[in-house]
Amino acid sequence: MSNLPQEPLRREEPAAQNQDAHTPAGAPAARSAVAQLRRSHTRNIRLMILILCGVVVLGLAVLLALWLLLPEQKAPEQSEYYFYPVDWSVNIFETGEYSESDRVMLYCNDPLGYGLKEQITQDGSGMEHYDVNVRFLTAYLNSIISGDNETYRSLFTPQYLQTHTLPRFTQQMLYQICIYYCGAETDGDGSQRVTYRVDYMIRKNNGSFRRDVGSDAIRPQYVVLLVSPDGQSIAIDDVYTRS
């Protein structure tokens, strides 16, 4: 029997199993690609959200700027005037009511009324000392009084008739009439644009001629005459009121 020391018995441990033994080849690269795609997709979503937010903010800023800069649009006010019934058959010269009104027609060469007011005859007689513009305006006012739509329309320039619709109206009981000279401007071709203010009241206004004023009230109109260089041709180029 040998006295040599014996090595202790070694217990064989099973070899550690390879964790990747059942992992397909190339799997780590695939997982890395998927993760990268997910990160890219997330970045794209965030970018789209930022762009969308920027568009919304920009739109709100534009709307705010428009609201602050554009003039306020007022809703049209409903007419508060009462208009008498329209009667196309009535003759205002036979009712007696109009003949009792102050039908004197005056002319003043100062727009503020400081000048001398001269009386204009209704029939147009004795007007030799008035210039042709005043005589023209007298015919204009008389066409309104007599309800002469054809004559009234003939007093306007073709350009005005193309852009404005003239009303068809009955005889109008105009009274307390005054024509005021306001001023003149000369165009490049030598023609003049002469502006007059025309004041009058309408008794029992039926609204067929004017709907911007009630009965027995004055809302001045400004009549602009276009006068040819030789003064032979006169026509109304504009009629307007001021607030």
pLDDT confidence of residue 75: 45
pTM: 0.66
pLDDT confidence of residue 5: 53
pLDDT band at 22 (very low <50, low <70, confident <90, very high): low
Q: How many CB atoms sit inside 10 A of residue 19's CB? A: 7
Beta bridge partner(s), residue 203: 173
DSSP letter, residue 91: -
CA–CA separation, 230 and 204 (whole Å): 41
Residues constituting the chain: 243
CA–CA separation, 184 and 200 (whole Å): 22
Q: What is the mean pLDDT of the chain?
A: 82
Look at the block and give the residue holding tokens 């695939």: 30
pLDDT digits (tens, 9 = 90+) for 7-18: 555 555 555 455
pLDDT digits (tens, 9 = 90+) for 65-109: 665 555 444 444 555 899 999 999 999 999 888 988 888 899 998
pLDDT confidence of residue 110: 79
Q: What are phi and psi of 33, to 5 degrees?
A: -65, -40
pLDDT at 177 over 90: yes
Mean pLDDT of 108-129: 73
